[in-house]
Structure 1
Amino acid sequence: MTTDLVRATPRRLAWQRRRRSAVRFWKQYRTHRAGLVGLAALVLFALVALTAPLTVGSDVTGVTDAPGNPLEAPSTEFPLGTDRFGRDLLGLVVWGSRVSLLVGLLAAVLSVAIGAVVGITAGHFKGAYATVLMRITDWFLVMPTLVLAIALATVMSRSLGTVILAIGVTSWPTTARLVRAQTLAVESRPYIERAKALGGGHWHVMTRHVLPNVMPLVLAQTTLMISSSVLAEATLAFLGLGDPTVISWGGLLQDAREAGAVSAGDWWYLVPPGIAIAVVALTFTLCGRAVESVLNPRLGVAR
């Protein structure tokens, strides 16, 4: 019994520290009004995406049994009008949120994961290894991210996996630079030298000491990257490089372009998905800035 209590004590203390940190984070986050607005909008979009199968149903994407006439203007029956196939645009925008948010989230996670690995290893090992990694990072930084993503999406099959991969592997350099700088700052602290003197290897130092200290930066960067990833997915889909079998906001804009909605003045075909993309990007940006300000108080002082 005593042994079990002793073993449980460190875990209990760790959970208590994490709980206190979460409470402290939320108290500071609540002081950012823009962050709260962004968080409320983000929760709303998440609920809309998760409940789309119940609210609009998957049959909204079908073209064979469309309920309306092609390119109908907004009405009481179709609040946002219909597309060129006669499908309800409101239902398509709601259903498209699932793909756009999912691709944005997964692409951002992939991008930040690559950047974190590159940044931590380059900051820890230094020497020739770090030099090579940083020169590769610099090459990706000077190259236009969108052009690289378009080139990668062009040579691969048109699917959601391709879009996620194209965005993720071309947008990691900024994260790598930030994480490397933070890793160098952490590695210069005395307790890192003590850990090495006590026999801590490279893996131990990077995972047990460096990674926890760079995680706040990684979290803030992930939130900001989702906004860029959503915009990148919409751009690729608008250019016809997305998955043609799924509905996304960028895909709706591409359909509107092909249908000649711009020249015909069918504004209801263009405005709703465009506004959705802009609002989601703004939402994640507000949340990311608030998280960044909470985790790095010096930013708030500087502003």
Structure 2
Amino acid sequence: MTTDTTPPGGPTRTDTTPPVAKASPRTLAWQRRRRSAARFWAHYRTHRAGLVGLAVLVLFAAVALTAPLTVGSDVSSVTGAPGRPLQHPSGGFPLGTDRFGRNLLGLVVWGSRISLLVGLLAAVLSVAIGALVGITAGHFRGAYATVMMRITDWFLVMPTLVLAIALATVMSRSLGTVILAIGVTSWPTTARLVRAQTLAVESRPYIERARALGGGHAHIMLRHVLPNVMPLVLAQTTLMISSSILAEATLAFLGMGDPTVVSWGGLLQDAREAGAVSSGDWWYLVPPGIAIAVVALAFTLCGRAVESVLNPRLGVER
């Protein structure tokens, strides 16, 4: 005789499925960032002009990074120049030589390092100053905002190039001076845009809830306002780089740059001093000028595409 030992509720099952570990907040944040980056790229690649600009920038960045390997660091040396002064383009010198007999193709390649570096750093400095002024003026308001906006208006009405020349004149001639002169004179537009966006963000209900829960000024600006204005800051940075490259070329052309380094603007200044315009030495002027124009256009195309992706309401044409 057998005894049924089955429980009244039926046979029990042993669950061998391991428990699913919950993702940490940092992991979730990285997952959201990856999804956002994927969505951004999916929208960005629909802009043909933006893709063309990005391809051109990648090409110039590769040329600048590999310049020590392709042309060598001694290409800018005046002593021991390989060619005759102002030699026409030929098989040995595809872009001819400068007034010292240096290979102009190598100088243009080497100059891309300085021009791109100065443009990038000056744009970052300019946008950082503008974002700081815009966020704080939009958050605190009152007398502080009034004073900061009047200062911003003063910088807006003053010619940027004149201020940059004045700073470059009173300070030592170096790359740091050029970066500082461009950065501290070109931030007002960014400050205006960021302040308007900050005012729009702080009018939303969740900012009031953050204040009611005890969020301080730093918490609100860093955790709520800054993430919402970052897309605008990113788009403004890409647009500012092209302006910074043009400003650096202008300062170098006027003799305000660092004479110890080679840049595209410095090459134009050398060509002017050598009388390339009057003597018809077109190969001395055209290559650095085209390089400046192409890079500035590429950054502008990328900036417009980024701006259109991050703010579709602008209706920027693709």
SS of the aligned residue for 2:239 comes to helix
**Alignment CA distance shift 1:7-1:134 (3 Å):** farther
CA positional deviation for 1:12: 1.3
Per the normalisation by structure 1, the TM-score is 0.97
Give the match for residue 93 of structure 2: 78
Question: Residue 194 in 1 paired to residue 172 in 2?
Answer: no
CA positional deviation for 1:144: 0.4
Question: Residue 109 in 1 paired to residue 124 in 2?
Answer: yes
Q: Which amino acid aligns with 2:242?
A: S
Q: Which amino acid aligns with 2:114?
A: V
- Equivalent residue in structure 2 for 1:245, among 260, 263, 282: 260
Q: Which amino acid aligns with 2:301?
A: L
Structure 2, unaligned runs of 5 or more: 1-19
Q: Distance in 2 between matches of 1:226 and 1:301?
A: 19
How do residues 264-303 of structure 1 correspond to structure 2 at under 5 angstroms?
A: 264-300=279-315
Question: Residue 131 in 1 paired to residue 131 in 2?
Answer: no
Q: Distance in 2 between matches of 1:34 and 1:300?
A: 15
Q: Distance in 2 between matches of 1:9 and 1:204?
A: 22
Q: Which amino acid aligns with 1:283?
A: A
Q: Which amino acid aligns with 1:256?
A: A
How many residues matched?
Answer: 299
Q: Distance in 1 between matches of 2:116 and 2:45?
A: 24
SS of the aligned residue for 2:287 comes to helix
Q: Distance in 1 between matches of 2:41 and 2:51?
A: 10
Give the match for residue 228 of structure 1: 243
> 1 or 2, which has the higher helix percentage?
1
SS of the aligned residue for 2:315 comes to helix
Percent of aligned pairs sharing the same letter = 89
CA positional deviation for 1:300: 1.9
Structure 1, unaligned runs of 5 or more: none
Q: Distance in 2 between matches of 1:51 and 1:227?
A: 22
Q: Which amino acid aligns with 1:37?
A: V
Q: Distance in 1 between matches of 2:73 and 2:263?
A: 13
SS of the aligned residue for 1:286 comes to helix
Q: Distance in 1 between matches of 2:81 and 2:239?
A: 38
- Equivalent residue in structure 2 for 1:217, among 232, 240, 254: 232
For the aligned residues, what is the CA RMSD? 1.2
CA positional deviation for 1:10: 1.0
Q: Distance in 2 between matches of 1:57 and 1:75?
A: 20
Question: Residue 16 in 1 paired to residue 34 in 2?
Answer: no
How do residues 28-47 of structure 1 correspond to structure 2 at under 5 angstroms?
A: 28-47=43-62
